[in-house]
Amino acid sequence: MGKIKKRLIFLVGPTGIGKSAAAICLAKKINGEIISCDSMQVYRKMDIITSKALASERKIVKHHMLDILDPGKQYDVASYRKEALAVCDRIISKGKIPLFVGGSGLYYSILIDGLFERVGEDRLIRSKLNKEADKRGSSYLYKKLKTIDKQAAGKIHPNDTRRIIRALEVYLKTGKKISELQMERAGLGKEYEFKIFGLDMPRNALYEKVNNRVERMFDLGIIGEVRSLLRSKLSKTARSAIGINELKGFFKGNYSLEDTKELIKRNSRNYAKRQLTWFRKDQRIKWIKINPGDSSFQIAKKIWKKLS
């Protein structure tokens, strides 16, 4: 008789769609606890800018992987995976169901599918490839990659020089395609049974929700929060949060308040679009179509029906 697998649920989707509120309703129904799958919510003092669950919401359902380090510290997917899975097992040991919630596609992917065995940097190879990129452009290296590893090239944008160089570097160092190495990753399938749900809604309605969320951030005091954050040196990850650079420009007098709001709205909408593009490639996701007027309870009920 096979070993009984541990149960997990994932709730993914674009920013602003209502994942967090729906997750609280769903967690109550399934006797679950929420694990954030968000690359920015791990940071302390970034509450408004990352739309983190409020203290009152965390009292209703226990949340994990929030506020675990200072924004001056760098964080990576490997650290997240290790810590999130440890939390996951602690939740299961209490007889509860872990509910992963977030929109960070890379964190989600690495969590589910695992990390491939790390191939160390080769400075000589990388230096040579960088020189070729400077001299002939990324398109030249991209054609090389397509010849060597068509599958990897299909997942990389022709202008993404860094990832093209990395894929070529791995091949030139090991003689193995990076796409083949990635297929050897140890994912969650052996030990865990999981279901993945994605939230989707009409694009215009989603963009309206994103715009409203940005307005709410300003009402809650995002200007003061970011001003305080910028008094210290931020890590590369933390300073990439949408709102940091836009407000930095506002503080320097480059933008008016209204222009700053519009920039954050536009960049947030573009991010939502990229998230949907990323998640739609994953055939394992069961999509939940929601309407603009659906309450968090109604969204949770739709997911619950798919679980039953």
d(CA 172, CA 75): 28
Q: pLDDT (tens digit, 9 = 90+) per residue, 254-285?
A: 999 999 999 999 999 999 999 999 999 899 99
- We find that the CATH architecture of domain 123-183 is Orthogonal Bundle (1.10)
The average confidence (pLDDT) of the chain is: 92
Could you give the residue range(s) of every CATH 1.10.20.140 domain in the chain? 123-183
d(CA 228, CA 253): 17
Q: pLDDT (tens digit, 9 = 90+) per residue, 32-51?
A: 999 999 999 999 999 999 99
| Count of C-beta atoms within a 10 Å radius of residue 222 | 20
What CATH topology corresponds to 6-115+186-307? Rossmann fold (3.40.50)
Q: pLDDT (tens digit, 9 = 90+) per residue, 77-135?
A: 889 999 999 999 999 999 999 999 999 998 998 899 887 666 777 889 989 999 999 99
pTM over 0.85: no
Distance in Å from the first CA to the final CA of the chain: 25
Could you give the residue range(s) of every CATH 3.40.50.300 domain in the chain? 6-115+186-307
